[in-house]
Homo-oligomer: A and B are copies of this chain.
Amino acid sequence: MPYTFSEENYLKAIFHLQEKEGTVSTNALALHLSTRPSSITDMMKKLSAKNLLVYKPYYGFSLTSEGKKIALTVIRRHRLWEYFLSEKLGFGWDEVHQVAEELEHISNKKLVDKLDAYLGFPQFDPHGDPIPDSRGKFAHVEHLPLTELAINQQAIITSVVNQSAELLEALNEKKIAIGTQVEVKKRSGFDLSLQARIRNRNLTLTEQIAKNIYVKKI
């Protein structure tokens, strides 16, 4: 019942990749975790022996429901701490991810649930990602990448799906945050960059930036 930091990190990473890419390969996971593929194989054996994932050599792996459950509790802790850091301690949204990477491994359930209550049971972390509740359930917001928003359609930014400090700083500079209203005025056929109207000003957003921004039509 107690899992190591490493095990938790692997489970969390697999969960995220499974969500985003649908499938999880040894190489992709190694890249994501900055380890070597052979380390992945080693850990897959360990986790499958513990029935946290199903692993067939050369054929990939996928979390069992127990594995998913653990991944979700780690993600819950991570996002609750991010919210705490941002809301209570005044950290910037570009800083919280890094610190939460450490805090997320403190597994005391009472701590996490009391923190949740103290924060007022927040539903979303500072990047707009949903925070699972103590049963692992979380709010689902239908949202689409800014790259797919129709021209002249009003929308608000619901989340940014990339925790890199570089991206978040770039967005800070442009005064783009969760909840900011946005409208796409034009999309370039050449480089896929787009002209957006934000806070009554016209901005150019490169495709690389836009595809990390998710919005909800209003």
| A residues apposed to B, CB below 8 Å | 85, 88-91, 95, 98-99, 102-103, 106, 108, 110-111, 114-115, 118
Chain A to chain B contacts (Cβ below 8 Å), 12 pairs: A85-B111, A88-B118, A89-B111, A90-B114, A91-B114, A95-B110, A98-B108, A99-B108, A99-B110, A99-B111, A102-B106, A102-B108
Selected contact of A103 from candidates B85, B99, B106, CB within 8 Å:
B106
Which B residues are CB-close (under 8 A) to A118?
88-90
Complex Cα–Cα for A89 and B90 (A): 18
Q: Which residues of B contact A115 (CB under 8 A)?
A: 89
Copies of this chain in the oligomer: 2
In the complex, what distance in Å separates the CA atom of A90 from the CA atom of B114? 8
Q: How far is the CA of A103 from the CA of B98 in the complex (A)?
A: 16
6 shortest interchain CB distances as A-B pairs: A89-B114, A102-B106, A99-B108, A99-B111, A89-B118, A88-B118
Known contacts A88-B118, A103-B106, then 17 further A-B pairs from the complex at CB < 8 Å, ordered by chain A residue? A85-B111, A89-B111, A89-B114, A89-B115, A90-B114, A90-B118, A91-B110, A91-B114, A95-B110, A98-B108, A99-B106, A99-B108, A99-B110, A99-B111, A102-B106, A102-B108, A103-B103
A98 to B110, CA, bound (A): 12
Bound-state Cα–Cα, A90 to B89, Å: 18
Which of A99, A108, A111, A115 counts the most chain B CB atoms within 10 A? A111
Question: A106 contacts which chain B residues (CB < 8 A)?
Answer: 99, 102-103
